[in-house]
Chain A
């Protein structure tokens, strides 16, 4: 079967709470479909081999690299991307604290860090600095601004604990 003969697959999925449908090739990865087909370019492609974390999304609540998920696998699943993190124009505490701490330089790693840190705080509202560092070990920042990122996430955690009922 030649590359041109590959039959496209129709996928119905949910992205950031909204039902979405798309066509993809069987071998296409989710990060590519998010960016090129669905125009959700907040998800970044860095290494495309699962090492850098720039393409982090949630899949049925689990944090994953979207470059290592086939788009076809997401039929009937729930995808969460960085575009779904802010609510109605209001930034999520992780986003707000990254701004306040100036915890980004070039910004390519930032969407992945936002998605990853949010996933951490949802399962562990009071992480230690060490826990944040280990959790974010799969999100590489080539500007190496790690300290500010860690401080921003810890600050966001504290804010979220104060706001929690």
Chain B
């Protein structure tokens, strides 16, 4: 590993100072992307700021209005959390698909977002669940919607000296749920060819009153697809509306052809995934009734 300095601040203020005080400092959370990138010579930071001793980065705080999830909380902690499983099962599923048991022991929610892979499995679920990303910099704090956080492959909205502190989920309304599906040619330990998350709310008669649809691995960033959500809202997810949502997702996708799939294939598959995820989210929302 090339020459690098290391610091492990115990407060947000110390972390912000460390990041602002060194050119080319990087936040170290789980390290499952960053340390590999350093090993491969893709990044050579001068300073690693280990944020795992800062309480705000490592805590899960649920109250009557929102879930606040520290950016450095590892996937294995999220997937073992029964409250998160009840409120956002699709988000939990996405994190459970990332890498091996060993990787999930370290890889964090914030790292998956900040690494800005177009195929990141937790990001579509952050988007459909209206997560806000809380950012700290030397000038203070700001927050951005999850769909606005990443700006392209390996690029996000953080300015030099800024860090992601936590993601905040508003609690879902009654009869709401979500789902995430990805397609890979094997059963595990792979990168999504295409991914889709759906979150929706039903009324007492099973009519969809609110929905969000996001797709991954089919554009430079995960995309919110309002047209797909509009196809679902106002009906009870009949065949026609599911087909319309799938078509809207395929239409919105702007994939590339690479070793994992062609443009045509990805556009088709992402529609299928949206349709299937919508049905799973609906069935979950119905099961929550009573």
Specify which chain A residues have a CB less than 8 angstroms from the CB of B100 in the assembled complex. 50, 53, 137-139
Is there contact, CB below 8 Å, between A70 and B76?
A: no
What is the distance, in angstroms, from B112's C-beta to the closest C-beta of chain A? 14
Among A63, A70, A116, A119, the residue within 8 A (CB) of B6 is A70
Q: Using A27-B2, A69-B31 as known contacts, say yes or no to A138 and B102 having CB atoms under 8 A apart.
A: yes
Chain B CB count within 10 A is highest, among A1, A67, A119, A138, for A138
What is the distance, in angstroms, from B30's C-beta to the closest C-beta of chain A? 8
Within 8 A of A (CB), among B1-41: 1-6, 8, 28, 30-32, 35-36, 38-40
Chain A CB count within 10 A is highest, among B3, B39, B105, for B105
Q: What number of residue pairs across chains A and B have CB atoms under 8 A from each other? A: 95
Q: A3-B2, A27-B6, A70-B35 are in contact. List 6 more A-B contacts (CB 8 A).
A: A49-B39, A63-B101, A65-B102, A75-B8, A134-B188, A138-B102
Chain A CB count within 10 A is highest, among B4, B6, B31, B46, for B6
**When chains A and B are docked, how far (Å) is the Cα of A116 from the Cα of B105?**
11
Binding site for B on A (CB under 8 A): 1-3, 6, 9, 25-29, 48-50, 53, 56, 59, 62-65, 67-70, 72-73, 75, 116, 119-120, 134-139
Lowest 3 A-B CB distances belong to which pairs? Answer: A138-B100, A27-B1, A26-B6
Q: Kindly state whether residue B172 has any CB partner on chain A within 8 Å.
A: no
Binding site for A on B (CB under 8 A): 1-6, 8, 28, 30-32, 35-36, 38-40, 46, 48, 50, 52, 74, 76, 99-103, 105-106, 188-189
Chain A: interface secondary structure? mixed
Is there contact, CB below 8 Å, between A48 and B105?
A: no
Is there contact, CB below 8 Å, between B3 and A135?
A: no
Task: List 17 A-B pairs, Cβ < 8 Å.
Answer: A1-B3, A9-B6, A27-B4, A49-B39, A50-B100, A62-B105, A64-B102, A65-B102, A67-B35, A68-B36, A68-B103, A72-B8, A116-B101, A116-B102, A120-B101, A135-B101, A138-B189
**When chains A and B are docked, how far (Å) is the Cα of A120 from the Cα of B46?**
37
Specify which chain B residues have a CB less than 8 angstroms from the CB of A26 in the assembled complex. 4-6, 48
Specify which chain B residues have a CB less than 8 angstroms from the CB of A53 in the assembled complex. 100, 102
Specify which chain A residues have a CB less than 8 angstroms from the CB of B31 in the assembled complex. 68-70
Is there contact, CB below 8 Å, between A62 and B106?
A: yes
**When chains A and B are docked, how far (Å) is the Cα of A6 from the Cα of B2?**
10
Among A28, A69, A136, the residue within 8 A (CB) of B106 is A69
Is there contact, CB below 8 Å, between B1 and A29?
A: yes
